[in-house]
Amino acid sequence: MELPRPTLRDVLRARAVVRRYLAPTPLIRYPALDELTGTETYVKHENHQPVGAFKVRGGVYLMSCLPEAERRRGVIAASTGNHGQSVAYAARLFDIPAIIGVPEGANPLKVASMRALGAEVLFHGPDFDAARGFVEDLAAERGYRYIHSGNEPLLVAGVGTLTLEILEEQPGIDAIIVPVGGGSGAAAAATVAKAVDPAIRVIGVQSEGAPAAYRTWKAGTPVETPAIHTFAEGLATRTSFSYPQATMRDLLDDFVLVSDAEIRAAIRHYLTRAHTLAEGAGAAPLAAALQLRAQLEGRRLALILSGGNISEEQLRWVLSDA
């Protein structure tokens, strides 16, 4: 059965719930970034969310809508970290048991956060897709409510509230750049932005070391990449997700790939020019803005900074390249 696509009306419904639990995040313009990008650059600080990433918006809204029987059985999800933190945070909020499957070698900062929020964390396989297969089998075997990180209409509607906040505070925004792992953030941003004004450009960005969503969007058919070669775990998926891809294919204006070197440079720019901490996925939109400077110059640009969960080891490595 084809899942219904969320509309602006659905996002407005989600906002009525999300705003009860999560305060709006700051949207800040940094002149030092303006100089770097050639645009009027506004940063949407989703790294200020309780779990440091925008996915918590979707987790809170989805969990608020679960029927009582599903709440009693508990929820399960697979994640490289940010989706898992979102599910763990929302499950704790609504007193629902949660299990998160993560790949071996997952970001220890994110694993510690999930455990601190009360979720049971299970390690399986070398990457997200291996953990996802394990979790899907476990959900079917034990009857847990499986929360997919992309193919969830309620999750996408909840995530769309961040774009509402951007456009309400700065209605003159011309373009929005969104990091893409599975694509829920880009699908949500495009849904809201195009409903407000079809002229707003929405641009997705993914790591060139994990380009499954990008290649699927370009080809128009599902593409799987055999391996992942990026430190930005929030962008690291070997497969694309059909639900957000359908919206992205219709509404996304552009999609670019950035290298790990460009992402590392963007993390350093955020530190030195905006005094803020970004993980790889969170810095990718700034890396894309620098890559697209010639076509974006002179516009009002919003960068979605999600998230801020960079480990100490990753940060040392990033700074060692300065």
Helix (H) or strand (E) holding 134, with range, is helix 128-142
- Report yes or no: 171 and 183 within 8 Å, Cβ to Cβ: no
Shortest CA distance to 22 belongs to which of 158, 182, 179? 158
Distances (CA, A) of 148 to 26, 58, 77, 105, 132: 28, 11, 6, 21, 9
Q: How many CA atoms lie within 13 A of 155 on its CB side?
A: 26
Alpha-carbon distance of 86 to 149, in angstroms, equals 10
Catalytic positions:
55, 306
CB atoms within 10 A of CB 81: 30
* SS3 category, 243: helix
Residue 109 contacts residue 51 (beta carbons within 8 Å): no
Q: Of 145, 96, 99, give the one whose Cα is nearest residue 119.
A: 99
